[in-house]
Amino acid sequence: MRVNVAIIGGGPSGLLLAQLLHQSGIDAIVLERKTREYVLSRIRAGVLERGIVDLMVKAGAADRLQAESFTHDGTVIAYKGESFAIPFSKYTAHPVTVYGQTELTRDLYDAREAVNGKTLFNVEDVVINNAKSSSPSIDCIVDGKQVHIDCDYIAGCDGFHGVSRQTIPPEARREYEKNYPFGWLGILSETKPVHEELIYANSDRGFALCSMRNERLSRYYLQCDTNDHIDNWSDAQFWDELKKRIPEKFADTLESGPSIEKSIAPLRSFVCEPMQWGRLFLCGDAAHIVPPTGAKGLNTAASDVHYLFTALKQWYAEKDHQLLDTYSQTALKRVWKVERFSWWMTTMLHRFPDQSDFDLQIQSAELDFLRESESAQASLATNYVGLPY
């Protein structure tokens, strides 16, 4: 078969790119190694920047998002048993939107099916051929049958462990990585959120985050050891520890209940340069990973999708390849700014095992400065709601 663009990966970034291309009359196929049901079973973050919301509208997949999402105009930072609010509306013209990534992905799958978009599931043994030539192609196996796809361009939206980044020769790419000495233990519960805004808490027992999906679905996180296991945490133990890490005024009103999902995720920062190799372009986790502290994973993937879609649209409409040629430089410029913000939030709010008394005093001073400085709060707000594309 032949298409304009072959997209490896049927997560939100691959689906979003496919829908945007369809809206512009550009033929694309999505290759996903799992089933739709498996993809939709994955629980992910739900804080959306204005950029991805705008892209969902442009992709024709935002009806449910606009009807059911929640707008958040600020966030709460807690430390030393106290808290303070940072109102985004005071420093920026934009809020953030809370809407589960699983639901966003479901909306994109529904939109793709509505336009009879080509999507292949259970795709195995993907091989990218001739990425540096003018006629790249993909060989793969789908439900036990060999499939060959000729295309003009390939978008690698297949995550950190996918084939796309590995197709770039090791000598041609440089990878930057920082692994953090802790993870996040997260639970999802059918309980009322403890506060109308997200609470990021620094405590001497470790970091905690109070988040939500809707008015009856809450998402909470605790910093934990990287070698910890969910079997070590009963629901009662989780709620007890969470109450100890957040200010008393929130702990006293916290509604607890059975968890409906529980997991532990490691934290790391990762960037691959370049993000393109001939006619192969990397998007999202295939090229970069951020710790979840700033809620930037999906949002940064969306900025990649924006840059790549804009470049492909320019090529097919005007035969101008300037934006395609500079995709990597353009995307990486924003990626590194997001990496910096996510690293800063992580180091400010977590307890590290090797922190000295001096380090703890510096961390405390950083939080004091954020509380007292409008310019520091403006910087956090500007980055949190999303840097412009």
Which active-site residues does the annotation give?
72, 200, 292, 296, 384
Burial annotation 335-345 (CB, 10 A radius, 16+ → b, else e): beebbebbbbb
Q: Are 294 and 345 in contact (CB under 8 A)?
A: yes
Q: Are 369 and 362 in contact (CB under 8 A)?
A: no
Provide the residue type at 289 as one letter: I
Alpha helices in the chain (DSSP H): 12-23, 36-40, 50-58, 63-68, 88-91, 101-114, 163-167, 235-245, 248-251, 297-318, 322-325, 327-349, 357-372, 374-385
Q: How many CA atoms does the CB half-sphere of 82 hold within 13 Å?
A: 6
**Closest by alpha carbon to 271, among 322, 312, 328?**
328
CA–CA gap between residue 242 and residue 45 (Å, rounded): 19
